[in-house]
Amino acid sequence: MIIAVIPARGGSKRIKKKNIKLFLGRPIISYSIKAAINSKIFDRVIVSTDCNKTMIVSKKYGAEILFQRPKSLSGDYVGTREVVSHAASWLNKNISKPKFICCLYPTAPLLNVSDLKKSYKIIKSNKWKYVFSASKFSYPIQRAFYLDKLKKVRMFNSKNFNRRSQDLKSAYHDAGQFYWGSYESWQSKTPIFGKESTFHLVPKLRVQDIDDLEDWKIAEKLYKINKK
């Protein structure tokens, strides 16, 4: 059984009711639900939430609500692993043991069906504990700098100042869209971003982390560009 789990707690702080806020006319969580359904990979698309309104919206767009997320897993500091592990355990106990589980974030409107299909092929090879979405940094992180206590510019590593970009290793970051893992991987303590994991590269034009309203507006513009 191949399962999609969308973790969507109700207590967002920076953007009120973030998971069901309208994104270009539709609740943002509906984009992740529809991408999962349209991929035709999953036997079930499940939303794990503690919010009644999120439950109603999720059902409307085709997701299943098999349980209400416990309060103990709805706090600000609860990680993705705990939420997915809980869903996996519930399924194993009440329905059947999943083979692969893909965690889809509810605020990933730029998620592309083709990326889900390609990454599924990678996890099916059984070579990796996890496969997740990632994108390339647009500028060499080796030349990054910061401001010290006196507001003076300081490089993290000044030795890289005169090194050519092509001589520096490419660096990547989590795209915040999906995370594939086997049932055993989600139940273990194996880190997602570790040596037993790999990533599926997502183009920068299809990646936008949404933490505040400015990010939200950028994501809407990127969505329109990708639709063209």
Domain containing 212 — which CATH number? 3.90.550.10
3-class secondary structure, 143: helix
- Nearest partner of 122 among 203, 41, 186, 206, judged by Cα: 41
Residue with tokens 């998620």: 111
Residue range(s) defining the domain that contains residue 104: 2-227
pLDDT tens-digit map of 105-141: 999 999 999 999 999 999 999 899 999 999 999 999 9
**Burial zone of 140 (CB within 10 Å; 0-12 exposed, 13-18 middle, 19+ buried):** middle
pLDDT tens-digit map of 32-67: 999 999 999 999 999 999 999 999 999 999 999 999
Q: How confident is the model at residue 209 (pLDDT cuts 50, 70, 90)?
A: very high
CA–CA dist 206, 175 (Å, integer): 9
- Whether the pLDDT of residue 202 is over 80: the answer is yes
- Whether the pLDDT of residue 13 is over 80: the answer is no
> Six-digit token pair at 8?
């969507």
Tell me the helices (H) and strands (E) count for the chain, helix number first.
6, 10
Total domains in the chain come to 1
CA–CA dist 216, 74 (Å, integer): 23
Are the beta carbons of 100 and 123 closer than 8 angstroms? Answer: yes
End-to-end CA distance of the chain: 35
Please give the model's pTM, rounded to 2 decimal places. Answer: 0.91
The confidence score (pLDDT) of residue 164 equals: 86
Beta bridge partners of 153: 147
